[in-house]
Amino acid sequence: MDTLSSLADGFAIALTWQNLALALLGCFLGTLIGALPGLGPSNGVAILIPLVFSIGLPATPALILLTSVYYGAMYGGRISSILLNIPGDEPAMMTTLDGYPMAQKGRAGEALSISGLASFVGAFFATWGLVFLAPQLVKVALLFGPVEYFALFTLAFATLGGLSSKNQAKSAIAAALGLAIAMIGVDGQTGVPRFTFSNVHFYDGIDFLVAIVGFFAVSEVLVFIENHATGPSAKPAPKLGRIIPSLSLIKETSGAMGRGTILGFIAGILPGAGASLGSFIAYAFEKKISNKGDTFGKGDPRGVAAPEAGNNAAAGGALVPMLALGVPGSGTTAVLLAMLLALDITPGPLLFTKNPDVVWGLIAALFIGNFMLLVMNIPMVGLFVRLLAIPAKYLMPAVAMISFVGIYGISGSTFDLEVMIAFGVAGWVLRKLDVPLVPVILGILLGNQMENNLRRAMTISDGNLWALVESPLAVGLWIMAIVGFILPLVVGRFVRIGALKKSKIDAGDVGTPD
């Protein structure tokens, strides 16, 4: 078993005192970030990347820290969903539906522990899925040439709007905006400056970290300022009650966890889906098959277990295309891609062959972090509940200032800070207009690679455009891209109606879209 021996090597890397400490810190920060409304996996990780970069951690420890934050945030989102009926982040939205009614019945502790266990099950099996599926995908990806990569990037953009997209034109415009921003700077192939307005600051292009922190963190602060939101402190958190779940409760919910894990994992792998869709599908499916006594929505533990298993499994599944192909399928994995690029690691098939230590160290860290999170999220959940009381009027300024510190730490330039503020304002406007931010980010991240692959393909074929559709692999990818873009126009309406019905129940404030 080649894979298992690689995984064992990974554990050897991850099991140093320093890396264990970083994983522990990451899990703690992640749970906190997930739990606090207004901070979710994408903006939480986004704020931390520049800081980790400036502190100068080497690649593997930095990766371990940040992916622990990512997994931790997936766990943490449920805490405020259950206690306050406010999802801590978007994937945790479905958890409010049965979690909050459970808390009102005095079963908050049980809801938290069952959802914690479900998160563990989802993440644990999804990480195993990652272990076995990613190397298979790498084998396919090794056959890719520049043409296939160009088609793959197009596929990623075409499907990013996904089934949840309300308006495909808006997803496409967002992608084009991101790609356009990526064009700013000196052209890597011929060395000529493009769209720099003769301003020296633009010669290096727009730093994607500056863009991401502006888009995710600063725009979130602006949303809070607009709504004058004072946060969840107004409502006192209900009593936790029993924290350790009974065996019969675990037995009752185990089916829901299993189904949620499988559906979530699949949703995570698919392009354009991500954790929010994972938890939505898991909840909807569980309700369909288990809602015999009409208990869903009134505090059924299975309605807590399914979406939490779903979103954590999706978080693991989303890492498969991100690591194996270098193409993220959701907002949070786009941020993780930014993290890899900032650390000078290019994900994709070559990462598995050239830097197996990074990949397997990371995967081993995910397993370790997952166990830490289980411990942190069941017996110690009371600690996070107390931290939830930080009101937004102190939290959001702190978020803004930490964003400034991180970006200033990279370059020490006022210009970068101002670009970040500009992205924050632009992000706020785009969110108002319902234009998704993730395709913009992905465009900025992938724009230059996408162009380089196209130009390399054209150099190989000596300018013959038909080369783009010569290989069957490329044709397959093109067809998937076209279907992926058209399908939501047809199916989307149907899915959206279902989602709308759900969201009526929920009136809470939701963090950055996943």
Partner 1 sequence: MSDRLFGLAALLLAGLMTWGASVIEESFIQDPLGPKAFPWVIAAVLAITGIAMMLKPDDEPEWPARAKLLRIVWSVTAMVLYAELLPIVGFVVTTAAIAAFLSWQLGATVRQAAMGGVAISGGIYLVFHVVLGLSLARGPLGF
Q: Which spans of this chain sit near partner 1 (rule: CB under 8 A)?
A: 51, 54-55, 166-167, 169-170, 172-173, 175-177, 179-180, 183, 187, 189-195, 218, 221-222, 224-230, 392-394, 396-398, 400-402, 404-405, 408-409, 412, 414, 417-418, 421, 424-425, 428, 432-435, 450-451, 454-455, 458-459, 462-463
Query: How far apart are the C-alpha atoms of 219 and 214, rounded to whole Å?
Result: 6
- In this structure, what token pair is assigned to residue 70? 């990512």
Nearer CB in complex with partner 1: 192/247? 192
Alpha helices (H) in 326-391, listed in sequence order: 331-342, 349-354, 356-377, 381-387
- Taking CA atoms, 223 is separated from 229, 303, 475, in Å, by 9, 30, 43
Nearer CB in complex with partner 1: 120/423? 423
**Three-class secondary structure of residue 237 per DSSP:** coil
Torsion of CA 503, 504, 508, 513, to 10 degrees: 30
Nearer CB in complex with partner 1: 94/419? 419
Instruction: Give the Cα-Cα-Cα angle 378, 380, 386 (nearest 5 degrees).
Output: 120
Kindly state the smallest distance separating residue 300's Cβ from partner 1, in Å: 34
- Taking CA atoms, 458 is separated from 37, 150, 154, in Å, by 48, 11, 16
Kindly state the smallest distance separating residue 512's Cβ from partner 1, in Å: 17
Kindly state the smallest distance separating residue 514's Cβ from partner 1, in Å: 21
Nearer CB in complex with partner 1: 136/230? 230
Kindly state the smallest distance separating residue 184's Cβ from partner 1, in Å: 10
Ramachandran category for residue 89: left, alpha or beta (phi over 0 → left; psi -120 to 50 → alpha): beta
Query: How far apart are the C-alpha atoms of 484 and 481, rounded to whole Å?
Result: 5
Query: How far apart are the C-alpha atoms of 336 and 41, rounded to whole Å?
Result: 10
Kindly state the smallest distance separating residue 211's Cβ from partner 1, in Å: 16
Is the Cβ–Cβ distance between 380 and 24 less than 8 Å?
no
Query: How far apart are the C-alpha atoms of 274 and 441, rounded to whole Å?
Result: 15
Nearer CB in complex with partner 1: 56/472? 56
103, with CB counted inside 10 A (0-12, 13-18, 19+), is buried
Kindly state the smallest distance separating residue 167's Cβ from partner 1, in Å: 6
Kindly state the smallest distance separating residue 225's Cβ from partner 1, in Å: 5
Kindly state the smallest distance separating residue 199's Cβ from partner 1, in Å: 13
Nearer CB in complex with partner 1: 299/439? 439
63 Cα distance to chain centroid: 15
Nearer CB in complex with partner 1: 142/425? 425
Nearer CB in complex with partner 1: 54/355? 54
Please state the φ and ψ torsions of residue 193, each to the nearest 5 degrees.
-75, 145
